[in-house]
């Protein structure tokens, strides 16, 4: 295991790692007190080299690491990649390509829903990982040998996990299935949320268009403020305060001060002024231009029974094919398929999911297929075409 503390060492290590067709990658970070994750360690492993990069080392430039992440000839292997990629995107302005997420691959290969790295290592490598350093403060220096060994294990065993899952996907002819999932993880839109869309993160607790307009303005302001100050969103304004302001719509400091969720004196601060500006900007929107409050789609009669049948079908297909049900279709997908059939705008009706589950699901709700219980098992049977 090599500990890298300067740019020259990092460049040399990345040259070695780039000689091979894959590198396993993990990061350790903190984000309890910041908006952007604070990158504390980078772990890299390949056939020739295991390395830990200290991004907090004085003067180190991570440019060689980012070049490796952009090298299209090297597959970057992660487990549960989204947060690691978010860090690389924010720090390096790029999304690693190509990537292989072992958690997603494991679901496609039948290891269950959102399987943990520890579980995969135990089931594939037969190794029980030491979890004692899981809650380390990775920003603290110096790190102990035990902490470094724990961090390194996140990528050394990942090599064997990757090779096993890659072979399994190729054997089952499912490599293209994973490629569809990786396209989402490699999409810039996955990580570059525009502040004006920040309201979509909030659970909908508003009922009127004007309340939604205020909520949208407040959420966008909070997002920009949190990013600019590099603090968690809740440090700027808590969700409960956003909802109360959206419902009460205070127009001045006196009204803002009366709200239960607003700290005493906050109405006289710059933040208070910004909140009032956002509220009044929303109140100035013409009635005809106010946003529409999303409403749950009204489900047709009998939809509940159709969904229950689709759940059984999904379970059967998932078990038969050794694929986690969660990666095939969600509960919302089933609701929408039952309600809208072929017109349902869901992933389960596209790509490999459609072939595996979508087509049988449509046949089931169209009466072309049935479920039956025989010999203490449920199976599916095709039905004869209905007479005209």
Per residue in 144-161, pLDDT tens?
999 999 999 999 999 999
Pinpoint the alpha helices (H) of 284-376: 303-321, 325-328, 331-340, 351-353, 359-365
Q: What is the CATH number of the domain that holds 374?
A: 1.10.150.80
The verdict on residue 298 lying in a domain is no
Range with the poorest average pLDDT among 103-117, 234-248, 287-301: 287-301
Q: What is the CATH number of the domain that holds 21?
A: 3.30.420.10
Shared-domain flag, residues 145 and 200: no
pLDDT above 60: residue 358: yes
Instruction: Select from 261, 289, 317 the last residue of a domain.
Output: 289
pLDDT above 50: residue 388: no
The verdict on residue 297 lying in a domain is no
Shared-domain flag, residues 19 and 142: yes
pTM, two decimals, is 0.85
Shared-domain flag, residues 76 and 212: no
pLDDT above 50: residue 27: yes
What local confidence, expressed as pLDDT, does residue 372 receive?
Answer: 85
Q: Catalogue the long-range contacts made by 274-280 (C-beta closer than 8 Å, 24 or more residues apart).
A: 274/221, 274/225, 275/218, 275/221, 275/237, 275/245, 276/250, 276/251, 276/252, 278/214, 278/217, 278/218, 278/220, 278/221, 279/214, 279/217, 279/218, 279/245, 279/249, 279/250, 279/251, 280/251
Shared-domain flag, residues 19 and 160: yes
Q: Can you tell me the mean pLDDT for 173-183?
A: 92
Phi (first) and psi of residue 265, to 5 degrees: 90, -10
Burial of 318 (0-12, 13-18, 19+ CB in 10 A): buried
pLDDT above 60: residue 106: yes
Q: Work out the percent of the chain whose per-residue pLDDT is above 90.
A: 81
Q: How far apart are CA 263 and CA 34, in angstroms?
A: 21
Q: How many domains does the chain have?
A: 3
What local confidence, expressed as pLDDT, does residue 295 receive?
Answer: 73
What local confidence, expressed as pLDDT, does residue 387 receive?
Answer: 46
Shared-domain flag, residues 257 and 327: no
The verdict on residue 308 lying in a domain is yes
Highest-confidence segment of 80-84, 126-130, 379-383:
80-84
The verdict on residue 116 lying in a domain is yes
The average confidence (pLDDT) of the chain is 92
Q: Can you tell me the mean pLDDT for 293-319?
A: 81
Shared-domain flag, residues 246 and 376: no
The verdict on residue 124 lying in a domain is yes
Shared-domain flag, residues 48 and 13: yes
State the angle between helix axes of 209-229 and 239-248 in degrees (0 to 180), rounded to the nearest 10: 140
Shared-domain flag, residues 241 and 168: no
The verdict on residue 211 lying in a domain is yes
Confidence of residue 297 (pLDDT cuts 50, 70, 90): low
Shared-domain flag, residues 22 and 165: yes
pLDDT: which is higher, 83 or 304: 83
Q: How far apart are CA 124 and CA 282, in angstroms?
A: 55
Q: How far apart are CA 11 and CA 354, in angstroms?
A: 45
The verdict on residue 225 lying in a domain is yes
pLDDT above 80: residue 298: no
The verdict on residue 206 lying in a domain is yes
> Is residue 209 within 8 Å of 246, Cβ to Cβ?
no
What local confidence, expressed as pLDDT, does residue 190 receive?
Answer: 87
Range with the poorest average pLDDT among 36-40, 214-218, 368-372: 368-372
Q: Can you tell me the mean pLDDT for 239-264?
A: 96
Structural domain that includes position 144: 2-190
First to last CA, the chain: 72
Shared-domain flag, residues 92 and 146: yes
Shared-domain flag, residues 246 and 339: no
Instruction: Select from 154, 171, 190 the last residue of a domain.
Output: 190
Instruction: Select from 190, 216, 244 the last residue of a domain.
Output: 190
What local confidence, expressed as pLDDT, does residue 192 receive?
Answer: 83
Shared-domain flag, residues 29 and 162: yes
């Amino acid at each position: 295991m090599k500990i890298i503390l300067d740019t020259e060492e990092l460049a040399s290590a990345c040259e070695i790692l780039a000689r091979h067709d894959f590198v396993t990658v993990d990061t350790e970070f903190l984000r309890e007190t910041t908006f952007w994750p604070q990158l504390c360690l980078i772990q890299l492993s390949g056939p020739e080299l295991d390395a830990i990069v200290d991004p907090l080392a004085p003067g180190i430039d991570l440019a060689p690491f980012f070049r490796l992440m952009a090298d299209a000839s090297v597959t970057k292997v992660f487990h549960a990649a989204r947060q690691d990629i978010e860090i690389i995107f924010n720090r390096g302005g790029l999304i690693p390509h190509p990537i292989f997420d072992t958690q997603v691959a494991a679901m496609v290969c039948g290891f269950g829903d959102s399987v943990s790295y520890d579980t995969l290592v135990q089931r594939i490598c037969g190794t029980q990982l030491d979890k004692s350093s899981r809650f380390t403060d990775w920003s603290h220096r110096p790190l102990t040998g035990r902490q470094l060994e724990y961090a390194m294990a996140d990528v050394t065993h990942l090599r064997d996990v990757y090779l096993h899952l890659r072979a399994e996907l190729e054997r089952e002819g499912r490599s293209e299935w994973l490629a569809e999932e990786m396209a989402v993880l490699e999409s810039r839109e996955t990580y570059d949320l525009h502040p004006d869309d920040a309201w979509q993160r909030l659970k909908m607790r508003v009922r009127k268009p004007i309340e939604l307009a205020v909520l949208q303005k407040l959420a966008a302001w909070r997002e920009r403020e949190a990013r600019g100050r590099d603090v968690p969103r809740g440090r700027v304004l808590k969700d409960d305060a956003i909802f109360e302001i959206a419902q009460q719509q205070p127009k001045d400091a006196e009204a803002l001060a009366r709200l239960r969720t607003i700290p005493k004196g906050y109405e006289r601060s710059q933040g208070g002024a910004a909140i009032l500006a956002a509220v009044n900007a929303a109140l100035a929107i013409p009635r005809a231009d106010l946003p529409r409050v999303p409403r749950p789609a009204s489900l047709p009669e009998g939809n509940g029974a159709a969904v229950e049948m689709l759940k059984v079908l999904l379970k059967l297909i998932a078990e038969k094919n050794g694929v986690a049900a969660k990666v095939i279709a969600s509960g919302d997908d089933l609701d929408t398929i039952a309600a809208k059939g072929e017109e349902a705008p869901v992933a389960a009706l596209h790509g490999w999911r459609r072939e595996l589950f979508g087509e049988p699901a449509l046949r089931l709700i169209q009466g072309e297929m049935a479920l039956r219980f025989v010999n203490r098992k449920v199976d599916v049977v095709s039905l004869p075409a209905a007479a005209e």
